[in-house]
Chains A and B, each alone.
Chain A
Amino acid sequence: MKQMNELRKYLWIARISARSNLSYVGDLVGRIVFLATVLFIFLKLWQTTFGQTGATHLGGLTLTQMLWYLTITEAILMSAPKVAQLVDEDVRTGALAMQLVRPMSYGWYRLASALGERYVRFTVNLLASALVTFLLVGPLPAAAGGLVLLAVALPLAFLLDFLGNFWVGLAAFWLEDTSGLLLIYSRGVLIIGGAFIPIDLYPPAVQPLLRWLPFANITSGPAHVFVDPNGGDLLALLVRQLAGAVVLGALVLLTYRAALRRVFVNGG
């Protein structure tokens, strides 16, 4: 009963976060326009590449699959909530001390809020970018099956990204500024996460390493099981995601405990 009440509390936070995000129409439209632009550029880039090489498949994907793959990676990338910035702000302004006295865990509160926001942003991004991609290259064969597998892969992908961001935000306890660290992390997700080029097109020697890093399991992994649905690939992805979540989760916990020892609360 107590656990249910706890869970209900965080679900409520996720719901509030999701609803408040739906109200920022300008932000939403701006994001969709940018997404459409990026997808258009990618289409041109890969259309040219496929045309020049004369290949029907690159990295195991057809042109249609490639663009749908990029649709998913972009929708995931552009749905990222500003977790690191919020944690950084809470640390610097001292708001963290206020959060600590509330009857809820700060980490779980941030997670619930981030997931609520992320699912709304991702759904909107997906709908908009899917429409653009459909108009550019047509439908994806086996899209329904892929959508189910994507839905299974997303929760752990979002959790991994949250943990990475939360960890960066906690660095504010030691660093003057965390924006640089955040930039490097986000570029890690972008490039070595395979968001622009499928991991299969990287040099074969580095592919196994890239697959096991958390970055690829946030973007590339879910996108791949969407465009090429396969139960075995999904299972392997879930194992890698779970392993990444355990390692990152442990790092976050250790850092958080060390950080809390640096919190001083003065009355007044």
Chain B
Amino acid sequence: MNNKNKLLNWLALAGAYFRLNLRAHMEYRGAFISQALAMAVNDFVWIVFWTLFFTRFPVLKGWDVKDVLTIWGLAATGFGLAATFCGNARVLASLVVQGQLDAWMLYPRRLLPHLVLGKMSASAWGDVVFGYAVYIFFVRPDAAHVLLFVLLSLSAALVFVGFFILAGSLSFFVGNAEVLAEQWTMILVTFSTYPETLFDGAVKLLLYTLIPAGFVSYLPVAALHHMSLPYTLCTVGGALLVLAAGITAFYVGLGRYESGSLIEMRG
């Protein structure tokens, strides 16, 4: 199968899982809507925080409120899209520890796509809606900026999927890494939502390596500011690198996986 067919094949699988997961959520429509709404409200509360902050202190080392709203939009849509389409990536550490990969291994394709696509987070929908809404309604960009924002949000989603897999794969190597993976992810999210200009030196290096917030929001903001192709390419390149690191860590770690001999019913 050539690369184009492989990609189409993968997208078809993602589409099938998306429909299936969404239908499952619709069985509990009330819970689904309330979770998504609550997440959007949660994100909005942060906008209130930053608006209050910038009302009092209008410029922060060259960043204004619109720049911060943009990184919030990027981080929220990136995280939201990743958790909506690849919800299991977010809980990979616990799936490995509990020996729950067995069932996924029986499917007639490579393990990782099935596994990560197998679950959808309801609350993540709130992040996606919030992220796009905050950029369109608060930053008020033109059509070209909106298009680039959509592309960059997809790139941010790739960073998050890769990072979730990378952090979750720690469980293959260090035993129970649930807390470690969760905290590492929260640190990435936290750094992704603060202006880059606050950090310098070694911390900045960390933000493009171990905590790749630079590819989630800092480079994309620069790309949107200057409508710059080089910044956009660096953003997408960085996202692909993080994804590749996650996939590599997963398949290397899989060699150390031990079955949980778990018996469970699956619908």
0 or 1 for each of B8-47: is its CB under 8 Å from A? (1 = yes): 0000000000000000000010110011011101100110
Q: How far is the CB of B47 from chain A (nearest CB, A)?
A: 10
Contact of A105 with B by CB under 8 A: no
Q: How far is the CB of B64 from chain A (nearest CB, A)?
A: 13
Q: Which residues of B contact A201 (CB under 8 A)?
A: 52, 56
Q: Which residues of A contact B191 (CB under 8 A)?
A: 37, 41
* Distance in angstroms between the alpha carbons of A184 and B30 in the assembled complex: 17
* Distance in angstroms between the alpha carbons of A233 and B134 in the assembled complex: 39
Q: How many residues of A contact B (CB 8 A)?
A: 33
Asked whether A38 lies within 8 Å of B31 as measured between CB atoms, the reply is no
* Distance in angstroms between the alpha carbons of A49 and B30 in the assembled complex: 43
Which residue on A lies nearest to B198, using beta carbons? A44
Contact of A235 with B by CB under 8 A: no
Q: How far is the CB of A17 from chain B (nearest CB, A)?
A: 19
Q: How many residues of B contact A (CB 8 A)?
A: 36
Most chain A CB atoms below 10 A, which of B48, B176, B179, B180: B179
- B28, B42, B46, B183: which contacts A183 (Cβ < 8 A)? B42
Which residue on B lies nearest to A28, using beta carbons? B179
Q: How far is the CB of B80 from chain A (nearest CB, A)?
A: 14
Asked whether B31 lies within 8 Å of A197 as measured between CB atoms, the reply is no
0 or 1 for each of A156-192: is its CB under 8 Å from B? (1 = yes): 0000000000000000000111011101100110110
Asked whether B176 lies within 8 Å of A26 as measured between CB atoms, the reply is yes
Contact of A196 with B by CB under 8 A: yes
Asked whether B186 lies within 8 Å of A34 as measured between CB atoms, the reply is yes
Q: Decide: A44 near B56, CB < 8 A? Known: A30-B183, A37-B190, A180-B35.
A: no
Q: Which residues of A contact B45 (CB under 8 A)?
A: 187-188, 190-191
- B53, B59, B179: which contacts A27 (Cβ < 8 A)? B179
Asked whether A180 lies within 8 Å of B37 as measured between CB atoms, the reply is yes
Most chain A CB atoms below 10 A, which of B31, B57, B186, B191: B57
Besides the known contacts A29-B179, A30-B183, A48-B60, 14 further A-B residue pairs in the complex with CB atoms under 8 A apart: A26-B176, A31-B183, A37-B190, A37-B191, A41-B194, A44-B194, A49-B57, A179-B35, A180-B39, A181-B34, A190-B45, A191-B45, A197-B53, A203-B55
Residues on A lying within 8 angstroms of B by beta carbon are: 26-27, 29-31, 33-34, 37-38, 41, 44-45, 48-49, 52-53, 175-177, 179-181, 183-184, 187-188, 190-191, 196-197, 201-203
A-B contact pairs, 17 of them (CB 8 A): A26-B180, A30-B179, A33-B187, A34-B183, A34-B186, A37-B190, A41-B190, A41-B191, A41-B194, A41-B198, A44-B199, A177-B28, A177-B34, A177-B35, A180-B38, A183-B39, A184-B38
